[in-house]
Chain A
Amino acid sequence: MLMKIPNITITVALSVHAGAALAQASAADRIPDTMEARVQACTGCHGAQGRGVENVYFPRLAGKPAGYLYNQLVAFRDGRRKYVPMNYLLAYLPDPYLMRMAEHFASLNPPPLVQPVVSRPAQQLAEGQRIVTQGLPGKKVPACVTCHGAELGGREPGIPGLLGLRADYVSAQLGAWRFGVRTALAPDCMQFIASSLSETEVAAVSSYLSSLPVTASRPLRQPGMRLPIACGSQPQKQEASR
């Protein structure tokens, strides 16, 4: 009688163990029910947690205002912002899901990618700084900092931060606005601004912005703040009534 007890224990222990192994196997086959797993199609190019990557043209997504990211996702899906790989990926995704994606990346704040310093002519940087901080009053172009924030960390809900973007990317975006490849909700304020800048001015702004260190600045929340020009992606009335 006594001899049998350990045997039973062993049997029980073995079956528990086997059960655990089975559970583990099925856990490995299970797909995590998370946004992180769902957006693997994004992080392949934009980096883990939307941190950004070496490639100049795959910008950081993390920490940008959700409203801005959502507007971009919708614009890519509907072809208002043209970049074929993004247009294709998002073509059949519904608005609520795009909002979830936007909120997901907006909520993340991984450490910024350290980027190689590119040396630029001092005169170009000075001109860039002047446009970014003072605008071009003669052309009615407001200073970037008026809308994008004194620290250039962006503004809720629809205005992105401008830090951590490479010069080639900024310049390509301004060019895209100018030529209608990138459009935002009407009135498209950035279309007006981009087409008001000369090529030299675009180069200066791009160089200066990319020369700035990435700080911890986050999008500003100042409901009711009046923008110097009307922007469809930052509706004024709605914001004031919130």
Chain B
Amino acid sequence: MNISRKALPTVLLAMLAGAAWMAPSLAQDKAQAKAAAQPRQQSVVERGKYLAQAGDCIACHTVPGSKIFSGNRPMPTPFGTLYAPNITPDRETGIGKWSADDFYNMMHTGRSPKGYLLYPAMPFASYTKVTRADSDAIFAYLRSVPAVRLQTREHELRFPYNNRALLLGWRTLYFKEGEYQPEPSKSVEWNRGAYLVQGLGHCAMCHTPINALGGSSQERAFQGGLIPMQNWYAPSLTSNREAGLGDWALQDIVDLLQKGVSNRGTVYGPMAEVTFNSLQFMSDEDVRAMAVYLKALPADQGPASDPAEAPARADVNQAYSEGRRIYAARCASCHGAEGRGKLPHYPPLARNQSIGMSSAVNPIRMVLNGGYPPGTRRNPMPYGMPPFAQDLNDNEVAAVVTFIRTAWGNRGAPVNAREVNQLRSATVE
């Protein structure tokens, strides 16, 4: 365990907070209370800051390089562009006139103090699980940051989505109000992980398939899905052996979340943002609790298409041999002739679920755009993968992705030049 001295009080208080809402398992609570007997008193504001990081508020409410929480970061959605509001304590343009009750009600019910319904880009369907004490701490922290007077832009939503009344229907289908209820049959650690993953972490926003109405259905929780507008595929987090975390070592899940690199894979794209702004700052205990919960998610049915049934067509064979040639020349020096990578900085490609899953979006984008994992406390100087968009044409990218998706026991389906071309022109975010 590497708990820095600075982080220790945070960790202990976070555990204490956990203990407060988990009355049923008394024995473990006592042990924690004992461990937490001596810590330096941590202010509510500090705890609120930690929780706001766990909720990744900054990702949407701060334009990079601008004043924290001053809002206006555009969020493109299939329904139009939303602008995250200013949540600094400015009385005119921020949340300076709000009370802690207003804030809790907004988090809990998805309604603003003025009574209008929030668009679900604000993950209130997840934040509803946050406890009153945690909500109050976050509010106290938000009150402590410098007030910025900056009017939030109006959303630019297409008809009919610009009519907030329609949200009533959405809420009926996809919103269940209520704080997290601990599962008494599970460990304190599992419950803490569930609370963070389902609540502040709002992981379901990307890792549960989003349907045409922008809703995520409970039955398909954490089965993975294409993130609208961002053109990245959020993999399944269930125990499914082909696509999920079932056979990952706990430490690898912890490393992936907190460090950004692991022996099984690396975070890029939207998940790099989550690690950079949120998960790297979380305590070892909390990240571990999330990993324990995620690893215990029940297996789903797996991706609909069975890649193994892909026909061994002549053109696929040709792409495979062309891909093998390109791989040997351009990729093998880092990822190894057998796709094992060099751990943890050059990720393995063999048996890497992000490579073989039904959607080929992620591997195609990696070849086209390359990428740096996030620079984190545990991995401050990450190694970067070069982009190849400027060197390889659509056919060559399709060939090398087909090769890595089908070599070394990977069971992904072949990809074609058209799929590559679509992503070449896609917005890179």
Residues of A within 8 A of B (CB): 29-31, 37-45, 55, 58, 74, 77-80, 84-85, 87-94, 96-97, 100
Instruction: List the 8 closest A-B pairs by CB distance, nearest first.
Output: A41-B384, A44-B386, A78-B65, A92-B374, A92-B276, A94-B375, A88-B428, A78-B64
Are A96 and B391 neighbours in the complex by a CB distance under 8 Å? no
Most chain B CB neighbours (cut-off 10 Å) among A31, A37, A55, A91: A91
Nearest Cβ on chain A to B277's Cβ, whole angstroms: 8
Are A89 and B384 neighbours in the complex by a CB distance under 8 Å? yes
Nearest Cβ on chain A to B181's Cβ, whole angstroms: 35
**Chain A: which residue is nearest B340 at the CB level?**
A29
Known: A78-B64, A88-B369, A89-B372. A96 touches B387 (CB 8 A): no
**Residue among A37, A42, A77, A84 making CB contact with B64, cutoff 8 Å:** A77
* A78: chain B residues within 8 A (beta carbon): 64-65
Are A92 and B386 neighbours in the complex by a CB distance under 8 Å? no
Residues of B within 8 A of A (CB): 64-65, 272-273, 275-276, 334, 336, 342, 345-346, 369-375, 380-391, 427-429
Overall SS of chain B's interface: loop
* B345: chain A residues within 8 A (beta carbon): 31
Are B273 and A85 neighbours in the complex by a CB distance under 8 Å? no
Can you report 8 residue pairs joining A to B where beta carbons are below 8 Å apart? A40-B384, A40-B386, A41-B387, A44-B386, A91-B272, A92-B273, A96-B380, A97-B375
Nearest Cβ on chain A to B308's Cβ, whole angstroms: 30
**Chain B: which residue is nearest A58 at the CB level?**
B390
**Residue among B336, B371, B386 making CB contact with A45, cutoff 8 Å:** B386
Are B386 and A43 neighbours in the complex by a CB distance under 8 Å? yes
Known: A84-B428, A92-B374. A38 touches B381 (CB 8 A): yes
The distance in angstroms between the C-alpha atoms of A210 and B208, with both chains bound, is 53
Known: A77-B64, A85-B389. A91 touches B375 (CB 8 A): no
Are B387 and A97 neighbours in the complex by a CB distance under 8 Å? no
Most chain A CB neighbours (cut-off 10 Å) among B64, B276, B346, B427: B64
Overall SS of chain A's interface: helix
Are A85 and B387 neighbours in the complex by a CB distance under 8 Å? yes
* B275: chain A residues within 8 A (beta carbon): 92
Are B380 and A97 neighbours in the complex by a CB distance under 8 Å? yes
The distance in angstroms between the C-alpha atoms of A43 and B390, with both chains bound, is 13
* B384: chain A residues within 8 A (beta carbon): 38-42, 89
The distance in angstroms between the C-alpha atoms of A91 and B277, with both chains bound, is 11
* B385: chain A residues within 8 A (beta carbon): 40-41
Are A41 and B342 neighbours in the complex by a CB distance under 8 Å? no
Are A31 and B383 neighbours in the complex by a CB distance under 8 Å? yes
Given A93-B375, A94-B380, A96-B380, 12 more pairs with CB closer than 8 A = A29-B336, A38-B381, A38-B382, A40-B384, A40-B386, A41-B385, A85-B428, A89-B384, A92-B375, A93-B374, A93-B382, A97-B381
**Chain B: which residue is nearest A39 at the CB level?**
B384
Are A88 and B429 neighbours in the complex by a CB distance under 8 Å? yes
* A40: chain B residues within 8 A (beta carbon): 334, 383-386
Nearest Cβ on chain A to B59's Cβ, whole angstroms: 11
Are B387 and A89 neighbours in the complex by a CB distance under 8 Å? yes
* A92: chain B residues within 8 A (beta carbon): 272-273, 275-276, 372-375
* B375: chain A residues within 8 A (beta carbon): 92-94, 97
* A79: chain B residues within 8 A (beta carbon): 64-65
**Chain A: which residue is nearest B371 at the CB level?**
A89
The distance in angstroms between the C-alpha atoms of A77 and B273, with both chains bound, is 12
